[in-house]
A = this chain, B = another copy of it.
Amino acid sequence: MQDAVYTAWIVSQGEELLTGQTLDTNAHHLAAALTGAGLRVLGASTAGDDEAAIAKALADAARNGDVVVCTGGLGPTSDDHTAAAAAAAFGSALRLDAASLAAIEGYYAAAARPMPAPNRKQAMIPETATALPNAHGTAPGFVMQAGAATLYCLPGPPREMRPMLVEAVLPDIARRLSPRPPRRHFFRTLGAGESALQAALAGLIPELGRIELGFRAKIPEVELKLVGPPDVPDADWEIAVGRLRAALGKDCFSEDEHRGLGAVVGDLLLARKETLAIAESCTGGLVTDVCVREPGSSRWFERSWTTYSNVAKTEELGVPAELIAAHGAVSEPVVLAMAEGARARSGANWGVATSGVAGPAGGTPEKPVGTVCFAVAGPGVSRARTLRAPGRARDAIRKASAEIAIDMLRRQLLRM
């Protein structure tokens, strides 16, 4: 059994998911939790408030996965059909679960409110099911055999579903199947696009054997992920990780999925006991946000300006008006003067600046929308560069530019 990879299928129930009223965060949360527990999630489906549609979704899911987790449709109202659908799909009838009814009555007693009559319906579960208690709401969940699969039905509200998943479902899956989690390693990169990385790493991939390499573009970042079966020997795994690390070089800024550029640059600055000041224009606050979103950033982030008008660039950062007149606000000389001004005015060790044409208006043939100038100024350092991202929307240009600016500082700090 050690090599078996168990599979899972996720079913989300709720008409509000199909009308676009509610974003389905449950499927996302379940996908991460089941993957982390060592299951391979093969698919997910969503059914509206219709018993037959739910029954079909559950039956399809049970044919495809060893484990099915369904959320939603366990409420007290007439549009909650999941228990009846599960019973119908797997040849069972509904029964009143006495312990669940007592728990629902107890929930209302604790709130000193009478139990509304419709809530009795929530104690009805399929005959062949075992109730899963809900400490955070009235609807119990249940677990039952569904053909060859095990079906878990949980209430839809995340604050009820999430603790039940941790307290009841994951331990039950571990008892029944003993799945072994896959090996995973993340590389967050900035510098090369998804296609270029794919081309550069093409030679590496066939050699990886049972280890798979995945790409995800989150412009301007590309995240790479190595995934392998749990029994890949440590030596093989380390070779694969090492090869990828060497191939990516400085483009990889983090090997932790949850650790972003701000945290990485903050630690580089802290190690050097240095501080940062930022002068923004088109990015308007977003470079600052990359820093300030990190807890503890007050230890290395000093201050910032968004000098949107030319007058502000001159008054706040000391950029000479003649320099702006000669080269335009979106130019390497001006963005360098902004970075140097930010550094000089604040006393911070480093200054980073951006100035660009985020659009939709303001582009010229020479400086089209998407043209952004970046600068880093520091001890003995004064660097500027210009990038163009044609065809992108204002928001996308601004967000990508904010990360690129901080990455420029990261690369500079690695050189020192």
- Type the 1/0 row for A140-163, where 1 means its CB is closer than 8 Å to any CB of B: 000000000000000001010001
Cβ of A316 under 8 Å from chain B: yes
Known: A27-B24, A43-B53, A111-B389. A295 touches B360 (CB 8 A): yes
B48 touches A45 (CB 8 A): no
Known: A31-B17, A79-B214, A215-B77. A302 touches B298 (CB 8 A): no
A288 touches B298 (CB 8 A): no
Cβ of A391 under 8 Å from chain B: yes
Least CB distance, A281 to chain B, in whole angstroms: 9
- Type the 1/0 row for A37-66, where 1 means its CB is closer than 8 Å to any CB of B: 000011111111100010001001000000
B20 touches A44 (CB 8 A): no
Q: How far is the CA of A292 from the CA of B397 in the complex (A)?
A: 12
Least CB distance, A390 to chain B, in whole angstroms: 4
Name the residue among A41, A110, A159, A284 with the largest chain B CB count within 10 angstroms.
A284
Residue from the list B76, B157, B307 in contact with A198, Cβ < 8 A:
B76
A292 touches B75 (CB 8 A): no
A53 touches B48 (CB 8 A): no
B394 touches A77 (CB 8 A): no
Q: Could you say which residues of chain B place their CB within 8 Å of the CB of A287?
A: 285
B24 touches A24 (CB 8 A): yes
Cβ of A293 under 8 Å from chain B: yes
B216 touches A22 (CB 8 A): yes
Residue from the list B257, B308, B396 in contact with A303, Cβ < 8 A:
B308
A77 touches B194 (CB 8 A): yes
Known: A42-B53, A198-B116, A303-B305. A20 touches B30 (CB 8 A): yes
Residue from the list B44, B110, B215 in contact with A390, Cβ < 8 A:
B110
A304 touches B301 (CB 8 A): no
B293 touches A316 (CB 8 A): no
Least CB distance, A262 to chain B, in whole angstroms: 10
Q: Could you say which residues of chain B place their CB within 8 Å of the CB of A21?
A: 32, 214, 216, 223, 225, 257
* Residues of A102-130 whose CB lies within 8 A of B: 107, 110-112, 116-119
Q: Could you say which residues of chain B place their CB within 8 Å of the CB of A36?
A: 20
Q: How far is the CA of A186 from the CA of B112 in the complex (A)?
A: 30
B303 touches A306 (CB 8 A): yes
B46 touches A18 (CB 8 A): no
User: Closest residue to A200 on the B side, CB-wise?
Assistant: B116
Cβ of A95 under 8 Å from chain B: no
Cβ of A312 under 8 Å from chain B: yes
Residue from the list B20, B31, B117 in contact with A32, Cβ < 8 A:
B20
Residue from the list B28, B198, B292, B393 in contact with A118, Cβ < 8 A:
B198
Nearest 7 pairs between A and B by C-beta? A20-B32, A284-B292, A285-B285, A285-B288, A20-B31, A303-B312, A44-B46
Known: A75-B215, A315-B346. 11 other contacts (CB 8 A): A18-B42, A19-B31, A20-B30, A21-B257, A42-B48, A45-B45, A60-B60, A77-B195, A136-B392, A285-B287, A285-B306
